[in-house]
Amino acid sequence: MYEQNNYFNLNLFFKKNKNNPLIKSINNRTITYGQFYKKSLELYNFFNVMGLKKEDKIIIKLDNCIEYLHIYLSCLIGGFVACPIDPEIKNERYSEIKKILNPQLIIEKRGQIKFLKSKKKINEKININNEFLIIQTSGTTGDSKGILFDLKAIIKSSINFAKISNLDVNSIIYHHLPMYYMAGVLNTFFSPVISGSRIVLGSMTTGKELLNFWKIPTKYKVNNLNLTPSMCFSLCSIFRGNINEKKEIKKIKNIISIGSSLYPSIKKNFKSIFDINLRHCYGITECGGPLTVQSLKKSQQMDDCGIFGVNTIFEIRDKTNGTGKIFVKNNFLMKGYLTLKGLVESKGKRNFFETGDFGYLKNNLLYITGREKEIIKKGGELISLGLIESKVMENDQILGAAAITIKDELMSEKIILFVSLIQSKIANKTSIIGLLYDYLALKLKKIEIPDEIKIISEIPKNKNDKTDKNYLKNLCNKTLNEKN
Q: Indicate whether this model's pTM tops 0.85.
A: no
Q: Kindly report the CA angle at 428 between 390 and 392, in degrees rounded to 5?
A: 5
Which domain range does residue 332 map to? 3-371
Last residue of a domain, one of 324, 341, 371: 371
Q: DSSP assignment of 25-78, as one string? A: ETTS-EEEHHHHHHHHHHHHHHHHHTT--TT-EEEE---S-HHHHHHHHHHHHH
Q: Is residue 322 domain-shared with residue 390, that is, in the same domain?
A: no
Q: Is residue 361 domain-shared with residue 404, that is, in the same domain?
A: no
Q: Is residue 93 domain-shared with residue 187, that is, in the same domain?
A: yes
Q: Is residue 383 domain-shared with residue 356, that is, in the same domain?
A: no
Q: Is residue 58 domain-shared with residue 8, that is, in the same domain?
A: yes
Q: Is residue 309 domain-shared with residue 343, that is, in the same domain?
A: yes
Asked if residue 114 lies in contact with residue 299, where contact means CB atoms within 8 angstroms, the answer is no
Q: What pLDDT is recorded for position 140?
A: 46
Neighbours of 270 (CB within 10 A): 23
Q: Is residue 67 domain-shared with residue 124, that is, in the same domain?
A: yes
Q: Is residue 328 domain-shared with residue 427, that is, in the same domain?
A: no
Please list the ranges in the chain whose pLDDT falls under 70.
1-4, 138-142, 302, 347-350, 372-373, 377-382, 408-412, 424-427, 463-465, 479-484
Question: In CATH, what number is assigned to the domain containing residue 474?
Answer: 3.30.300.30
Q: What pLDDT is recorded for position 378?
A: 67
Q: At what angle do helices 385-392 and 429-443 cross, to 10 degrees?
A: 110
Q: Is residue 29 domain-shared with residue 142, that is, in the same domain?
A: yes
Q: DSSP assignment of 189-242, as one string? A: IIHHHHHT-EEEE-PPP-TTGGGGTTHHHHHTT--EEEE-HHHHHHHHHH----
Q: Is residue 343 domain-shared with residue 404, that is, in the same domain?
A: no
Secondary structure E strands in 289-445: 289-293, 307-308, 313-320, 323-329, 336-339, 342-345, 353-362, 365-371, 375-378, 381-384, 398-408, 412-421
Q: Determine the 3-state secondary structure of 1 from DSSP.
A: coil
Cα 472 from Cα 475, distance rounded (Å):
5
Q: What pLDDT is recorded for position 468?
A: 84
Q: What pLDDT is recorded for position 141?
A: 47
Last residue of a domain, one of 371, 400, 430: 371
Last residue of a domain, one of 371, 406, 431: 371
Query: What are residue 308's DSSP bridge partners?
Result: 292
pLDDT tens digits, one per residue of 461-476: 876 667 888 888 888 8
Cα 106 from Cα 85, distance rounded (Å):
10
Cα 232 from Cα 269, distance rounded (Å):
9
How many domains in the chain? 2
Question: In CATH, what number is assigned to the domain containing residue 216?
Answer: 3.40.50.12780
pLDDT tens digits, one per residue of 426-456: 567 788 899 999 999 998 888 889 999 999 9
Query: 173: part of which helix (H) or strand (E)?
Result: strand 172-175
Q: Is residue 425 domain-shared with residue 466, that is, in the same domain?
A: yes
Q: Is residue 69 domain-shared with residue 186, that is, in the same domain?
A: yes
